[in-house]
Amino acid sequence: MNWQDILAGLAPNNTRAIARGISLIENEQEGYALLLEALPSNDKTLVLGITGPPGAGKSSLTDALIAELVKQQQSVAVLCVDPSSPFHRGALLGDRIRMSQWYNHPNVYIRSLATRGALGGLHPKTIEIADFVKAAGFDCVIIETVGVGQTELEIAGLADVTTVVLVPEAGDDVQAMKSGLMEIAQVFAVNKSDRPGADLFANHLRASVNELAAGKDIAIVKTSAINREGIAALWTAIRERQQNHTAQQHKSALLAEKAWQIIGQRRMKNLDIDRLRKEIEVAMQDPGFNFYKLVASLQ
């Protein structure tokens, strides 16, 4: 299937065309750039980023949001970014079993992507793949990132709305991460809120928001993904933030961040880490070796 056929057949229910298109982009096969350049504009699809520390219940919350969207007869595509295997660099699919009930649902498309060693909790081609999936006409595209803590800020340059998932026991972690979190979050989901201390944690989080993000429209919603509690309220908060963040200034800033990341990846494309290591090993034999001079010579 060439890129023209993929584009012609692009629709939420054409999983074959979507899967082929993602693979074309992911592996940079012939025609992938032409496919991207031919994608129709789509400002209606919500791109929702779900991030947060490991163990917060991101996959379970994503599963609950899928159920909420299906109940509202909306179509949803989910891009699950997983850690890479050190052997084959593919995705380690440990958390995907939580969404197994949706794999054959006509309104749901789920794809796992490996980080392939990239920092920031995203696949190197997440921006391009998300735009491709948007062009298929889904009502919502959910991107669930790897739980890698403070480096997980790239999602802010991709998603229309970013939801940070935390748990009541995350008090110390929030103190360490909160400045970065306040930069990227429009919605905080205090998940596993049936546990003791959830109300106290939510109040402390609200105080941090008021202190560090005064004037920003940030929602704090208590949820229990396992018990399906608070999910409708979470979705309402997400939709409200989508409507509040569609201003031209926000859109231009979002596109500038996406352009920055794509251009950076393309300029780094011809750099090979193994070749760099060999050149450094040779350069280190020189008694006057200076690391920064070497880096400057390679640019």
> 46: domain CATH number?
3.40.50.300
Q: Do 220 and 289 belong to one domain?
A: no
* Same domain as 181, residue 290: no
Whether 198 and 246 map to the same domain: the answer is yes
If one compares 256 and 72, the residue with the highest pLDDT of the two is: 72
Both 235 and 126 in a single domain? Answer: yes
Q: Note the pLDDT tens digit of each residue in 117-140.
A: 444 446 678 888 999 999 999 999
Determine the Cα–Cα distance for residues 285 and 191; give it in Å rounded to an integer: 54
pLDDT category at 89 given cuts 50, 70, 90 is very low
Q: pLDDT higher for 262 or 11?
A: 11
**Shared-domain flag, residues 2 and 54:** no
Same domain as 86, residue 2: no
Co-location of 66 and 202 in the same domain:
yes
Contacts of 255 by beta carbon, 8 Å cutoff, 6+ apart = none
Does residue 220 share a domain with residue 284?
A: no
Model confidence at 91, pLDDT cuts 50, 70, 90, reads very low
Give yes or no: residues 283 and 199 share one domain. Answer: no
Could you give the 3-state DSSP secondary structure of residue 112? strand
**What is the C-alpha separation between 245 and 195, in angstroms, rounded?**
32
pLDDT tens digits for 20-30? 999 999 888 99
The first and second tokens of residue 297, run together, are 């010579």
**Does residue 255 surpass a pLDDT of 70?**
yes
**For a pLDDT cut of 70, what percent of the chain falls above it?**
80
Structural domain boundaries enclosing 158: 42-266
Instruction: Give the pair of three-digit tokens for residue 150.
Output: 């403070």
Q: What is d(CA 135, CA 224) in angstroms, rounded to the nearest whole number?
A: 32
Per-residue pLDDT at 175: 61
Considering only CA atoms, give the Rg of the chain. 21
User: Nearest-5° angle of CA 291, CA 297, CA 298?
Assistant: 95
103, 117, 222, 265, 275 from 89: Cα distances, Å: 23, 8, 36, 18, 19
The predicted-structure confidence for 38-62, as pLDDT tens digits, reads as follows: 998 888 899 999 988 888 899 999 9
Give yes or no: residues 28 and 46 share one domain.
no
**In a shared domain, residues 231 and 283:** no
Which of 61-65, 174-178, 267-271, 283-287 is the most confident on average? 61-65
Question: What is the total count of domains within the chain?
Answer: 3
Q: What is the pLDDT of residue 88?
A: 42
Would you state the pLDDT for residue 87? 40
Q: Are residue 203 and residue 220 in the same domain, yes or no?
A: yes
Under DSSP, the state recorded for 85 is P
